[in-house]
Chains A and B, each alone.
Chain A
Amino acid sequence: MTQLLFILSHPPGSSIYAQEAFDAALAGSAFSNIAILFVGAGCLQLIEPKLAVEAHQRKDFQRGFRALPDYHVHDVYGCEDSFNQFGLHNQVLVIEPTLLTQPDIAALLKRAQRVLCF
């Protein structure tokens, strides 16, 4: 059962939300069964970083998503509508989440013990 559901709705780069969420999720994975849900502009975090680190002066934390299975995080979801909205089906992604419809997302929320929004 998902004890902690992390909802990531912020794009990378425009704020510290995205990176903080990933750090929090990794910390949460140490003591809970967690799931991650990318929604809205948060799905943009999944695009393989294109800019050189020198150009934006921040860590390319998204590449770390590939390490999630090593942290026993296997429940990684994305909003199908958002994927369509942002055209993510044509992009190279860091990882491929399981896509959920809005009713699926509502059911996931109901099953989760705790939800954390970033």
Chain B
Amino acid sequence: MMLHTFNSSDAYRMHGHRASAEDLILLIEDGVFITTQQDLTEDKRIRVLREDLAQRGLPEPSAITCITYSDWVRLTVESQHCLSWTR
């Protein structure tokens, strides 16, 4: 399993398809806005960083798993690679 982080909508649009079925996708920084732009509820690989949502005044989407920094650390340890897609 690999952890793909996306820090913007652009990065997700360009590289979102690179995450395979067994990978996880974590939305951070301005990447959290993707939750307001498209319906991600069907994609069970998606995680969103709770703190970055809160800092931007966005509500926590009910159907998407929101995680803390501690969870992020745990996922990092569990992943073979962490791929940081930035824009």
Chain A contacts to B: CB under 8 angstroms: 7, 9-10, 17, 39-41, 102, 105-106, 109-110, 112, 114-115, 117
Q: Which residues of B contact A (CB under 8 A)?
A: 2, 14-15, 17-18, 20, 80-86
User: Complex: how many Å from CA A39 to CA B4?
Assistant: 15
* Smallest beta-carbon distance B35→chain A, Å: 22
Q: Considering the complex, give the chain A residue whose CB is closest to the CB of B19.
A: A106
- Whether A117 contacts B14 in the complex (CB less than 8 A), given A106-B20, A109-B2, comes out as no
Q: List 20 A-B contacts (CB under 8 A).
A: A7-B83, A9-B85, A9-B86, A10-B86, A39-B15, A39-B18, A40-B14, A102-B18, A105-B18, A106-B18, A106-B20, A109-B2, A109-B81, A109-B83, A110-B80, A114-B81, A115-B82, A115-B83, A117-B84, A117-B85
